[in-house]
Amino acid sequence: MNPDTDIRELFRRHYRPLCLYALHYLKDADAAEDVVQEVFTAWWQKTGSGAREPVANVRSYLYTMVRNRCIDALRRSGLQADHLQPEDAAGLIADDDAQERSEREARLWQAVERLPRRRRELLLMSKRDAMSYEEIAEAAGLSVNTVRNQISRALHTLRSALSPDDSTADLLLLLAAFPAA
Amino acid sequence: MKEIQDNELNFVARHFRSGIFDWRRAWQRFVSANGRPVRHAFPAWGYALATAFAAIILGVFLFTQQGPRQTVIPVAQTVHTVQLPDGTAATLAPGATLSFRSRGFGSRDRSVRMAGKVFFAVTRNEALPFEITAADGFVRVLGTRFQIDADSTGTAVDVVDGRVLFAAAGKADLRETDGLILTRGMHAELAPGAALPVLADADTANPAAWATHSFLYDNTPLEEVLKELGAHFGCTFTTDARGRRLTGQFDGSDPAVIIALIEEALDIHIDIRPL
């Protein structure tokens, strides 16, 4: 790996998953971004100065730093939490699982971001606002069938995004991002 | 094709905002805050030096009312290390400030003023002592590593190695008998307005570990070791082993590695949990 792009590569690969990991603790997207930015800065100051031994598992290291800083931030905010671990509906989960989950969520996030705006809004009404298809249809002025169809397509896109083998969509976007000079 | 976990999609949907968590935007923010990183092009303290220059260029203000021109390292939001013109490295804890005279530093004198918590690794110079004024405290050294923590409640000094003279500030022609000589591992405190600092027990075995990333234990009870490491890394370390003591030095910023070394040294098991 080109040393000049080393930390940029870390940003590219881990920034969004780390933000989602922090979000599980902080429940605030801006605070999560700040923490992850701080962690990359601290990482850079340590490794970039040459004063420290290289860390074998960078990914785990970054996650650990993010977790520690989230816990610090929560503690500073005066939260008296007994179990500061990322939570989901099923309860507490282990570190490795939390890292993998954050990476899946990052892929979902990206896929949601890439959905056509209207389809995305319908999906969010369903998943974020827990509205029924009928409620969404009424609010959006569409037929229930159209709503069902749009959300079904959105979910199909999201499922594709979770499967690393199915990378055609990514490849096309990559080509779009680097038009022929 | 993989199935979507409902709880994961719900979590994403609940927090989704277009345009955030974008790594390119974050990268731009990083570059504008830290400069475009070029690895390995600098010597060990090069980055610190670059940070110091950046801090000086961006944050310097001139304290004309104090007479000589001052260079002020502004309040840091994160721990950062700056290199002073004489080669001394100062690691500032969040909220700490450090200032020194721009002209003559390193040739005429080596005097700095500081507030908050700062760890110094002072370049040795027998002819020109390094002098620090912090709140009511005054410290003079030749070449050593130590930290000063100064706020309105007083000034505390912890010596990692070397020899430090710690006294009340404002005394002309200071002699060694006017203060307290501190050596490796010693901790002393000076109350506001007090004439002399007093020796005390440090709160933890390695009060400067935040800057040195080094933990030194000498026959220290395991409970104290785990408490200190826990506070440092934001975790809880527990073990069933009772009455054990630890001697050794542990360096690094990966708690898992340090804990593994302790487990191996004492042949025990330690549980790691987030606080």
Q: Could you tell me the pTM of the whole model? A: 0.45
Distance CA A88, CA A53 (A): 35
Closest CA to B25 of A27, A33, A21, A25: A33
State which residue of chain A sits closest to B3, comparing Cα positions. Answer: A159
Q: Cα distance from A143 to chain B (closest Cα, Å)?
A: 23
Question: Contact B80/A24, CB-based, under 8 Å?
Answer: no
- Region label for B207, one of left (φ > 0), alpha (ψ between -120 and 50) or beta (otherwise): alpha
Interface contact flag, A124 B5, Cβ < 8 Å? no
Confidence of residue A171 (pLDDT cuts 50, 70, 90): very low
Q: Please, what are the domains in chain A?
A: 1-96 (1.10.1740), 115-181 (1.10.10)
Beta B130-134 vs B110-121: how paired, if at all? parallel
Is the domain of B228 the same as that of B137? no
Neighbours of B175 (CB within 10 A): 9
Q: Does the distance separating the beta carbons of B234 and A68 come in below 8 Å?
A: yes
Contact A129, B10 (CB under 8 A): no
Select the residue of B9, B22, B43 nearest A108 (Cβ to Cβ): B9
Chain A residues near residue B252 by CB distance under 8 angstroms: 53
CB B134 within 8 A of CB B116: no
Are A33 and B37 inside 8 Å of each other by CB?
A: no
Residues 6+ positions from B241 with CB-CB distance below 8 Å: B222, B266, B268, B269
Domain endpoint, select from B199, B228, B245: B199
pLDDT digits (tens, 9 = 90+) for B22-64: 888 888 888 877 776 554 444 445 555 555 554 444 443 333 3
* B161/B248 same-domain check: no
Are B93 and A53 in contact, with CB atoms under 8 Å apart? no
Closest Cα of chain A to B250: distance in Å?
13
Do residue B84 and residue B167 come from a single domain?
yes
Q: Tens digits of per-residue pLDDT, A55-91?
A: 567 888 889 889 888 888 888 776 555 445 554 434 4
Residue B249 lies in a domain: yes
The ipTM value here is 0.82
Assess whether B92 and B191 both reside in one domain.
yes
d(CA B169, CA A147): 75
Same domain, B222 and B182: no
Q: Which of B199, B228, B251 is the last residue of a domain?
A: B199
Beta bridge partners of B256: none
CATH classification at residue B270: 3.55.50.30
- What is the interface size between A and B, counted as CB pairs within 8 Å? 163
Position B23 in a domain: no
| Residues A104, B4 contacting (CB under 8 angstroms) | no
Residue B93 has what pLDDT? 86
Identity of the residue numbered A159: R
Which domain covers residue B139, as residue numbers?
32-199
Q: Which of B199, B226, B259 lies at the terminal end of a domain, its last residue? A: B199
Give the residue on A whose Cα is nearest the Cα of B28.
A8
Q: pLDDT grade, residue A15 (50/70/90)?
A: very high
Residues B88 and B182 in one domain: yes
Long-range CB contacts (within 8 A, 24+) of B247-253: B247/B217, B247/B218, B247/B219, B247/B220, B248/B216, B248/B217, B249/B214, B249/B215, B249/B216, B249/B217, B250/B214, B250/B215, B250/B216, B250/B217, B251/B213, B251/B214, B251/B215, B252/A53, B252/B213, B253/A46, B253/A52, B253/A55, B253/B213
Written as one string, the DSSP assignment of B166-188 is EEETT-SS--GGGSEEEETT-EE
Out of A36, A67, A90, the one facing B7 most closely (by C-beta) is: A90
Q: Mark whether B141 and B186 lie in a shared domain.
A: yes
For the segment B214-242, the average pLDDT, to the nearest whole number, is 88
CB contact under 8 A, B39 and A48: yes
Residue B48 pLDDT? 56
A123 contacts B39? CB cut-off 8 A: no
How confident is residue A125, by pLDDT bands cut at 50, 70 and 90?
very high
**Count of domains observed in chain B:** 2
B68 plus B195 within the same structural domain: yes
Q: Are B147 and B58 within one domain?
A: yes
- For residue B14, what is the enclosing H or E element? helix B6-15
With 90 as the cut, is the pLDDT of residue B9 above it? yes
Both B82 and B121 in one domain: the answer is yes
Higher-scoring residue by pLDDT: B71, A48 = B71
Q: The dihedral of CA A113, A119, A121, A122: what is its sign?
A: negative
The pLDDT of residue B147 is 92
- CB-CB contact of B130 with B122 (8 Å): yes
State the best of A18, A52, A62, A64 to mutate against chain B, taking most chain B CBs within 10 Å.
A64
Q: Does the distance separating the beta carbons of A124 and B13 come in below 8 Å?
A: yes
How many degrees, rounded to 5, is the angle at CA A38 between CA A37 and CA A39?
90
CB contact under 8 A, B15 and A23: yes
